[in-house]
Copies of this chain bind each other. A is one copy, B any other.
């Protein structure tokens, strides 16, 4: 799990509950251990980005979108080669305040940027369209009666991520095809951010009714 923000910690903790062996990647493991006490509380190891990615069956990018390419470079292209890389980040730009704008959109996506920069990684976009609590524990809202999306150029990687989503409790996973499907997933964020303000909560989710 690359990233020690709320998203990374929450999803990592949930995966550990499900008996996955999880290592949280961070810039400075000593600092993160001291600040968070992660290994004591959650049974999740803490390591450098590179050590966390090395030999992982699946790497999750839970960094913020503006830092994603830098963090993945620290994780190391060699460590990501051949590895399923679940990208749940969003290319949000908060530099001009709130609401954020998108760093990339329309004819490209952050997921595609990652895939181009790390061509041997098996990038799958998923879970970026919901709050991290619902990423980790979807059945806490409406018994999980809402929709997740996946997009990837690698069918095997997409199947692995879909299986993981199912294990987390996502019952309706729509396959949006190749990684260009990430464009629409990331461009959903402005509506998501607006709804969070309107509804006064992040505890909502999109369902594709059909």
Contacts and interface: CB of A to CB of B under 8 A. Distances in A.
Interface of A: 101-102, 105-107, 141-142, 145-146, 149, 174-177, 181, 183-185, 187-188, 190-195, 197-199, 201, 203-210
Kindly list the 10 A-B residue pairs having the minimum CB-CB distance in the complex, ordered from nearest.
Answer: A184-B191, A204-B210, A184-B190, A207-B207, A146-B209, A187-B187, A184-B194, A205-B209, A142-B209, A207-B209
Contacts of A198: 174-177, 181
Nearest to A151: B194
A183 B190 contact: yes
B195 A201 contact: no
A176 B204 contact: no
A142 B208 CA distance: 11
B209 A208 contact: no
A139 B70 CA distance: 48
B195 A176 contact: yes
A198 B149 CA distance: 11
Contacts of A146: 207, 209
A176 B194 CA distance: 7
A106 B141 CA distance: 29
